[in-house]
Every structure is written in structure tokens, then in C-alpha cells.
Amino acid sequence: KQIVQFDGKPKIGYVYSSYLIQQCNRVPNLTQRASLVHHLLESYGLLEKVLSLTCDKVNDDVMRGFHSSDYLDFLKGDVDIEDESSEEFGLGYDCPPLENLYDFIAVIAGGSVAGAKALVSGSVDVAVNFCGGWHHAQRDGASGFCYVNDCVLAILELETKFKRVLYIDLDIHHGDGVENAFAYSRKVFTLSLHKYEEGYFPGTGAVQDVGLGQGRNYSCNVPLRDGACDETFIHVFQTVLQEVMVRFRPEAIVCQCGADGLANDPLGTFNLTSDAYARCTAVIQGYGLPSLYLGGGGYHKANASRCFTTILASLLGEKLSTDIPEHDYFDWYGPSFELDISKGLRRDENSPEYIRILLQQVLGNLKLISS
């Protein structure tokens, strides 16, 4: 049973600063996407319906709440890719040495921490930062286009007020950095749905991986096969989330909305449309808890932008016209110039039998959460 705790419409905060967008536009393989997203939201008039949350760079103390001093000191120096320590700290193929890396990570972290602070102060019920969601960054190194784990830093901020925080990861990749950060904790429950297959990045997230030590049973992994379609994804998500909510009873939620599960994503192999994402976020919204929604992957930039826009509209309870309004980035949305994304032709390899066994295993694991 869903309990709605907001009185009337939730107050939604949108994290924005021009510097955040400018820096987020530099993320490898996602250049310019942040501008695309911001301008599509604006063109639909959605930014008039949210509270703007400004943000700044986080200070060193905040950063050291998760990342190691060695890693941070390394990023503050002149990163030389020829240097041995570059590899040690994860800089290289997926995470090239961007200029002024430390300023970059400080503002990327600042966006999600600003969203979390607004939830802690109660100035908003829901916060959104599509420039966040960099879930692979580890305590002591960059990984998979992620140099700083803003998801972890935002959760740490939420923990100052909320006793139990649930992290949900909708990106097609396993949310390994966040899971590792809280693997030993009972205060943060991590749930990731992802493609899991040999050779697929990052290679972790088996259904048997449920957390460590005191935190055993407080991590949940839902490995899926190629071609996952909206119906499969929503069914699995809703079923698992319901059980997590009842057993873990979170006081706040962080949801990474990586859009690389969309059909035809250059790095993904699922077959989702924006509808799957909007329905998952609507399910979360139905629980009425303070929630922070972040971005993440999504390498067909126009489609990711369509998806994030559909998510925010759904959170606001707004219905959008499928005709993309004319604006500075309009050309990116051709040839359809429509908001809706059609599903692809991939076969859903998640057979009903596979899903039945998967849910049996996952729900079995969740029964072991101590209440």
C-alpha cells in the first residue's frame, strides 16, 4: 500500500547554475548534453514550475567525507597521463585528464549536495539534478566517465537528518561506486537494476551480492539481460521496490535516472522508452518521501534529454505536447522533432521464466533484512 505524505502537490527544486551546466558539458562522451537537457526543460516551460536551487563548489571537508586524500591531492596537481599514478587513480581511457579537474569535481559534487541540502532543510519535497549521477567513482579513483561520486556525497548529506536512505539506480550499468561506499552500512540500502553479462562494464552486480559485514542484505542487485522492455523493467522495479520499502522503511530516497537503458542507446542494449523511467519515478513519488533525482548515462544525447524532460514533467504532474517546441537546440531532435521515443527492435531476452527465478532470488534476499 502506498502512503502519500506530501500535502497537495510536492514542492520541486531544480538544481541550476550556469557554471554547473558548463562543467557538466565536459563529461566524457556526454559533451553538451547538460545544455541540451536544460534548454529542452526550459522550452517546455517546466522551469517556471520549479524552485531554482543554486549550487556552488563543495569544500574539501565535504569531498573528504568519501574520497581519499591521496586521490583528491592527485587531482589538485597537474595530472600527467604518462605518469604511473594516473593509472592508479583511474585516469586514462574512460576518464581522460580534463583541465582543472579539481574545480570540475567540486562543482559536479556541489550540484547534488545542494539538492540534498534543500531536502534536509525542508525547503523542497523533491530535488532534481540532471548534472549528477556519477555512480562509478570510487573512494580512491575515477571510473567509467565518473571522477567524483556525487551520489555518495549527497547521501552523506541526507544522513545528517534521515536515519535510513534508499539509493535506487536505474542506469543500465551497475551502481558499483555507491554500493561499495555503503556495502557495510545498514543505514543506506542500495538497489541497482542493470545489464549483467560477461564483458559488460563494470562487471559487478550479481544477484548474490547483497552487502558485507553489518551491511549484509542491505544491497540489492537486479541483473537483467539484453532487450529489457518497459513492461519487464517496470514490473521488476515495482515488485522489488515494494518489498524494499516495507522492509527497509527509508526516510529519504536518491534515484539515479541514467537514461542509457533507452532503446538504441550507443552503449546500452535495453529497449526502454521514457515511459519506463517516468513510471518508475512516479512509483517512487507515490511513497511521498523526500527524494533526490539525479541524471547519469544516456549516450543518445537527444533521447536522454527527452527522457529527463519526461521524468520532470511526470514529477510535476504535467502532460507535455509531443511536438518539441522550437528553441536553440531544436535541430538536435530531428528528424522526428517529437518528445516520444519509439522502442527498438531488440528481442527481450528476459523471458518470463528468467524474471520469475530472478524475483524469487531477489525477494528471498530481501526477507533477510532485519527489522
| Catalytic (active-site) positions | 136
192 binds Ca ion (CB under 5 A): yes
Minimum CB distance to Ca ion, residue 311 (Å): 15
Residue 144 partner contact from Ca ion, ligand V1S, Zn ion, none using kind-dependent CB cut-offs of 5 to 8 Å: ligand V1S
Minimum CB distance to ligand V1S, residue 145 (Å): 5
- Residue 337: left (phi > 0), alpha (psi -120 to 50), or beta? left
Minimum CB distance to ligand V1S, residue 136 (Å): 6
Residue 145 partner contact from ligand V1S, Zn ion, Ca ion, none using kind-dependent CB cut-offs of 5 to 8 Å: ligand V1S
Residue 194 partner contact from Ca ion, Zn ion, ligand V1S, none using kind-dependent CB cut-offs of 5 to 8 Å: Ca ion
Hunting for cell 551546466 — which residue is that? 21
Minimum CB distance to ligand V1S, residue 196 (Å): 13
**Alpha-carbon 264 to chain mean position:** 19
Among 16, 66, 130, 145, binds ligand V1S (CB under 6 A): 145
Among 10, 133, 250, 258, binds Zn ion (CB under 5 A): 258
Minimum CB distance to ligand V1S, residue 91 (Å): 12
Near ligand V1S in 154-173, by CB under 6 A:
171, 173
CA atoms of 285 and 353, how far apart (whole Å): 30
135 binds Zn ion (CB under 5 A): no
Among 267, 316, 359, 363, binds ligand V1S (CB under 6 A): 267
CA atoms of 217 and 367, how far apart (whole Å): 9
Among 125, 230, 260, 348, binds Zn ion (CB under 5 A): 260
Site map 1..40 versus ligand V1S, x via CB under 6 A: ----------------------------x-----------
CA atoms of 49 and 158, how far apart (whole Å): 24
Amino acid making up residue 205: G
Looking at the Cβ atoms of 44 and 145, the one nearer to ligand V1S is 145
- CB-nearest residue to ligand V1S: 297
Looking at the Cβ atoms of 179 and 260, the one nearer to ligand V1S is 260
Residue 192 partner contact from Ca ion, Zn ion, ligand V1S, none using kind-dependent CB cut-offs of 5 to 8 Å: Ca ion
Near Ca ion in 119-178, by CB under 5 A:
169, 171, 175
Stretch that binds ligand V1S, among 13-21, 143-151, 220-228, 313-321 (CB under 6 A): 143-151
141 binds ligand V1S (CB under 6 A): no
103 to 99, 108, 155, 336: CA distances (angstroms): 9, 9, 21, 38
Query: For residue 255, what are the contacts with CB-CB under 8 A and spacing of at least 6?
Result: 167, 168, 169, 170, 280, 281, 284, 291, 292, 293, 294
Looking at the Cβ atoms of 32 and 242, the one nearer to Zn ion is 32
Among 74, 297, 341, 348, binds Zn ion (CB under 5 A): 297
Near Ca ion in 271-300, by CB under 5 A:
none
226 binds ligand V1S (CB under 6 A): no
Residues that bind Zn ion (CB under 5 A): 171, 173, 258, 260, 297
Residues that bind ligand V1S (CB under 6 A): 29, 93-94, 134, 136, 144-146, 171, 173, 201, 258, 260, 267, 296-297
Residues that bind Ca ion (CB under 5 A): 169, 171, 175, 192, 194
